[in-house]
Structure 1
């Protein structure tokens, strides 16, 4: 029985093969366009059946995207909780379709006979999900697979499912997956990922140029993810066995050894099983503390390795230096298991506020204990970090000297075994002396002086006022919105079961971008926002959680946020410029006198309720005078921030030059010459 599921504007744009703006135009221009059946005014949802009927009647002969229609038909054909089983069953059909040539004869059968024939032929069994009513979907799927290929067709359905359930799984970025594969045991034929998610790391191993990895094993705590990943890998030509379950509590392959383990396991998980696993034999290097789930995963990976086998795991930087884990880290070094720690560039793993590390672990194959550990920091080469790290590891693993002390260094194990056992690579790498010269230092000094002189000229002139700010009558922004003088917009992230209305590939303004007055750092791929709210020049942006109130006026051009999408936890104030000056509004919203009206405590930060903030209603010309002063203050603040950053760089530059021999203190005669 078909369900009438609900679809968003983003779904409709895909079904109609048009942009989201076209859907908005349809709603305005066509009186017969279906009315929303739920949602909100800014994020309505519609009846799929009504939308399909409308699109078919208005397609005007255009070819509509078959796979989008198939996806929505799948959603309508089964309950939400049964959808992954149906997709996995259809994937099994695609495997059968790809392996045999008898579809022509099978497709001639009526629906009942075809359902019965497929239920007998296909493994894993899908007889429970492939009822007669769904056979038309199978026929559509076969047509689509004939056009696009079985693997691509299933990948599309799987990706759509994971989009619908954004918290179900996480795909490691392709570049990081390729680096992990390059660092893994070069002679491996069997590999395991104990937290495999979508199978990206296993697929990267299988795709290595050497082609040696033949058998893939995986486990994931999410049953739907495990099943869909197994079918996906099978359609990609991989010999894969993926099991469902908690890898730490219930390992799926006990007693088995593999040549390589890869993983992007959960971080900071205090419920990993500390109590029930206290006596587990896997803790060969020490019982992981409750706060060190990452060290539990590292030892779990090592328990699967045969002699000479390699494990490459993504780890948070805290796992390298937390005091609670120092004894286990020390044991990994003393016994020659830890072979390398690699810092990845910030942003190489989306939606992470810190730069993650890769740990390379190897099960010793003889009694000799390695004397060095490789430390690599690729944070300064984000465009080529895969090549830099894999090349340095190749030289180190081959016994050659690693000769780039600013990026990579073979550190004696004894140097790591102090009281902290800190494995942070940057601690053991030296700054480059090539660019430290008197000319560069003097250039930085001149830039600093110019910046400070320019900043001083930005301070606005003021005079005594008859009335004080405290005596100005403040009108809440909520009241100004009711009067039509401004509008207040808010953003939220896409929730499970929703689709974003925002276009792909557009930058997203994050709260930190507003606080630090910098270009947007977010993206739809890492911050899937719900609404398409585009920031315009003159909009006032107010972050919700700050150390002190902040309000910035959006600007365009290089370095501006105008044109980007509004991110979460930010209020956007869009003023009527004939009634309110945006710099005037921003200045009063961020003022400390006004802050008591709309700021509440939230730990070490302040929580902002911008609707309660107030501004005085002055004549527009008077507002613009105030606004110009606030604008110059904002520029002065920006210059001070740049000066502070440049000053930090200058201090470090001179310090490095003096300590490394690039420069020396000037003599009295040289000082006089300057």
Structure 2
């Protein structure tokens, strides 16, 4: 059986240093591009050697794939035998096994017999009992290890039990390929490779590991805000350990890293992480922290928690008796606020806890008493609202709570609130600077989206700690200067209209009525091809390196951050635009726009792509004609209006006439934007005058 490394289109793009849309074009326009060897739709996979040969033949640059990409593609060897999640677990375990069993590795266990060491496995390269040989070696490791790390390979042993002795030899083939691939890495880089692979698994699967791993964005924030606080670190919901170890690697006097996890398989993953990365100061425990706590109060100067969100607890009545929750029993619907109280319990003197919470914890009525008690006791130093999606495993907005032991916050009578929800590019260091200056110097933030608010005022407002709400109060304050500024802005905006000149158009009666053709007629004539999305996004999620998704805001020309999705996470062939495509929305209002750049995903069933097949129409002209008033009047439907795409009428004009019209359309659109800007400025100035007079700030002299 040939062991072939296969690549996804994303891998090919990485190898060639191009975008996904370029790879799509290669596949469609080059008959000699290698065909897929497995998969279907957007899940097709291509022979790596064949792709390299094609790139070389066509003079394309070739760069080696990263180690995590190599391992991800290695998993294709296991997919006929087990699930993707289990395959990822096996590959991870083999990385750790090499780290502890290879004499050249800095993590080598040292007490293994020669027969149980990594090199000995290659003596079985031609045998069908290779899986059994791995099990024998791992069991020797377990017998000689007397601490908790003896359990790290239990899942691997169980998986191999189900694969040993398969008559077709597929297990031995996959094992050989896995061992050879992992053996090609440098032993001293196994820890870095392990972490990169875990990140790849998290980003690609969006389930499994991701449920118990903190996103890299949140890790960056928590590392930044905690690194200047010396001392040991504790995480009572440690998950896979990524957050604990990242914080533990930044900061002074990190003598002990401790954590507890309730799920056995996730706990073993955290142990694997500690082993392969050489974290010798780690103490992890397995168990439900709400029923059995293995750690003492005041055990750490830094507590970090990114707990499961909106989790209910089966023995909720027992929480009322928990002495670690002095500020109140959380509601039955969610124990989110229990994690806040636990974090304080573990804090030593002058330490700080950094807890991620769903935004509901800051305003839900069921938690109001807990918030009030925490505020009165002086344990809440700051709350920072973070952008939606930063948590990775969920799109709900989350907040960072900064806590201290009672009375040890920067100012027991005040709370720092920071709103970062509209920040496109999160700046962890800026957040850390604002928090540090408030904690150490009592310095109030100069930034616009932050403020200091009194505990008494917050208590009067049902103890709501939502930063956006309080900062909105602060921003709504009226001053003489702000009213003058709004009026001056209106004056400046009136000048915008002078920058746009609409040249007189020489209009004459048309000699005849232009020929009208429907979209259906244009398709039959071969001038236009209509493309619709056929993929499904049940398992799709945002991906930083994915393609932007066209939405209603983009169609209407509004600015904003577009969601990005990895086409490989879609089921079925994705619809990716090409330069010059006209994207049409025909439901809930008629709208069209030309995609000048291409390379965007169309996922909505209400959007269609019109791809020109000849030079009969300018795409800009076609887009304008599609949304004419005549076409808009064809909308039907009681609740949601819809226009039949096939019935939309287009006037056939010469290319010269089309170009002149497009020029006029551009000018009219500029005037429309300028008029809207003027309207907005006028509305703001009017409100400023009314509010200024009402509040007694201004008087017309």
TM-score, normalized by the shorter chain, greater than 0.5: yes
> Secondary structure, in 3 states, of the residue corresponding to 1:149?
helix
Q: How does 1:5-84 map to 2 (within 5 A)?
A: 8-11=8-11, 21=22, 25=26, 33-34=34-35, 38-40=39-41, 43=42, 45-46=44-45, 51=47, 54=50, 67=67, 68=69, 71-77=72-78, 78-80=81-83, 82-84=86-88
CA 1:150 to 1:537, structure 2 compared with 1: closer, same or farther past 3 Å? closer
**Match in the other structure for 1:550:** 591
Q: Does 1:280 align with 2:325?
A: no
Alignment partner, residue 648 of structure 2: 615
1:87 aligns with 2:91: yes
Counterpart of 1:328 (choices 361, 370, 374) is: 370
User: Kindly tell me: are residues 573 and 419 of structure 1, through their superposed partners in 2, closer, same or farther at Cα, counting changes over 3 Å?
Assistant: same
TM-score (norm 2): 0.71
Is this contact kept in 2: 1:342–1:425, CA < 8 A?
yes
Q: CA RMSD in A?
A: 5.4
Deviation at 1:256, TM superposition (A): 5.4
Tell me the CA shift for residue 90 of structure 1.
0.8
Following superposition, the deviation at residue 87 of structure 1 comes to 2.2
* Structure 2 equivalent of residue 578 of structure 1: 615
Match of 1:357 in 2: 399
Q: Is the 8 A contact 1:183 1:360 kept in 2?
A: no
Q: Which residue of 2 aligns with 1:568?
A: 603
- Residues 508 and 527 of structure 1 are in contact (CA less than 8 Å); yes or no, is this contact kept in structure 2? no
Kindly indicate whether the alpha-carbon contact (under 8 Å) linking 2:344 and 2:405 is maintained by their aligned counterparts in 1: yes
Aligned partner of 1:670 in structure 2 is: none
Q: Normalising by structure 1, what TM-score?
A: 0.73
Structure 1 residue 189 and structure 2 residue 232: aligned?
A: yes
- Which residue matches 2:272? 231
Specify which of 149, 167, 172 is matched with residue 207 of structure 2: 167
Pair 365,535 (structure 1): closer, same or farther in 2 beyond 3 Å: same
Retained in 2: the 8 A contact 1:292–1:325?
no
1:418 corresponds to: 460
State whether residues 34 and 54 of structure 2, in contact with CA within 8 Å, keep that contact through their aligned partners in structure 1.
no
Distance 1:473 1:25 in 2: 36
- Find the counterpart in structure 1 of residue 529 from structure 2: 487
Distance, in Å, in 2 between the alignment partners of 1:227 and 1:435 is 62
Which position in structure 2 is the counterpart of 1:158?
Answer: 198
Greater mean deviation of Cα atoms: 170-179 or 146-155: 170-179
> CA separation in 2, counterparts of 1:578 and 1:163?
42
Between 438-447 and 518-527, the greater mean CA deviation after superposition: 518-527
- The structure-2 alpha-carbon separation of the partners of 1:395 and 1:526, relative to structure 1 and needing over 3 Å to count, comes to farther
8 A Cα contact 1:578 1:620, kept in partner: no
CA distance in 2, matches of 1:461, 1:323: 66
Describe the shift of the 1:545–1:529 C-alpha distance in structure 2 as closer, same or farther (beyond 3 A). farther
Residues 459 and 451 of structure 1, relative CA distance in 2, 3 Å threshold: farther
Q: What residue ranges of structure 2 are gaps of 5+ in the alignment? A: 143-149, 165-170
User: How far did residue 192 of structure 1 move?
Assistant: 0.8
Q: In 2, Cα distance between the equivalents of 1:440 and 1:75?
A: 62
Residue in structure 1 matching 2:490, options 431, 445, 468 = 445
CA 1:326 to 1:71, structure 2 compared with 1: closer, same or farther past 3 Å? closer
How many residue pairs are counted as aligned between the two chains?
A: 639
Q: Displacement, 1:179?
A: 3.3
- 2:521, 2:277 → 1: CA distance? 59
Between the aligned partners of 1:45 and 1:33, the Cα distance in structure 2 is 11
Which whole-Å CA distance do the structure 2 matches of 1:384 and 1:15 have between them?
A: 29
- Write out per-residue CA displacement over residues 404-456 of structure 1, whole angstroms, 9 at most, x where no aligned residue: 38454442211111143331335545459999479855641233212456789
Distance 1:146 1:201 in 2: 25
Question: In the alignment, is the contact (CA less than 8 A) between 2:353 and 2:404 conserved in 1?
Answer: yes
Residues 142-188 of structure 1: per-residue CA shift (max 9 Å, x gap): 53332771112323433443344123317655464343245459354
Q: Is the 8 A contact 2:241 2:270 kept in 1?
A: yes
- Which sections of structure 1, spanning at least 5 residues, go unmatched? 556-561, 668-674
